[in-house]
């Protein structure tokens, strides 16, 4: 019985499988938000954007930011935590969208019910 080498065939199968995994389709990236400083454009850091959104929330009349956490990543703002009034969930998202540099808002705020459970 003559044994044929399996290695070349196996190598070709592995190479084809790896190639298929790599070619999953186009990837898209969102450029970092830009702001004008002295006529020059400067990328806004995630930290600066988070602070700007939090400050905007704090300036809103009657809005309590104590239980709200703001995180930014490349222009996307993530709101998490709790608020005491259901209207503040919508209000927080609206305020965040008005801050320069915010491209999209993920609002995961929840209504605080108090107590331990």
Share of the chain above pLDDT 70, in %: 61
pLDDT of residue 102: 98
Can you give the three-state secondary structure of 12-76, one letter per residue? Answer: HHHHHHHHHHHCCCCCCCCCCCEEEECCEEEECCHHHHHHHHHHHHHHCCCCCCCCEEEEEECCE
pTM over 0.85: no
Domains of the chain: 33-111 (3.30.1340.30)
Mean pLDDT computed over every residue of the chain: 77
Share of the chain above pLDDT 90, in %: 57
């Amino acid at each position: 019985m003559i044994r044929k080498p399996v290695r070349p065939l196996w190598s070709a199968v592995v190479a084809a499988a790896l190639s298929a995994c790599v070619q999953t389709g186009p990837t898209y990236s969102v450029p970092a938000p830009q702001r004008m400083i002295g006529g020059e454009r400067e990328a806004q850091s995630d930290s600066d954007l988070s602070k700007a959104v939090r400050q905007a929330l704090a300036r809103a009349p009657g809005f309590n930011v104590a239980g709200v956490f703001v995180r930014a990543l490349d222009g996307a703002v993530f709101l998490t935590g709790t608020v005491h009034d259901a209207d503040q969930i919508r209000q927080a998202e609206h305020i965040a969208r008005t801050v320069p540099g915010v491209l999209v808002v993920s609002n995961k705020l929840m209504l605080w019910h108090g107590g331990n459970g």
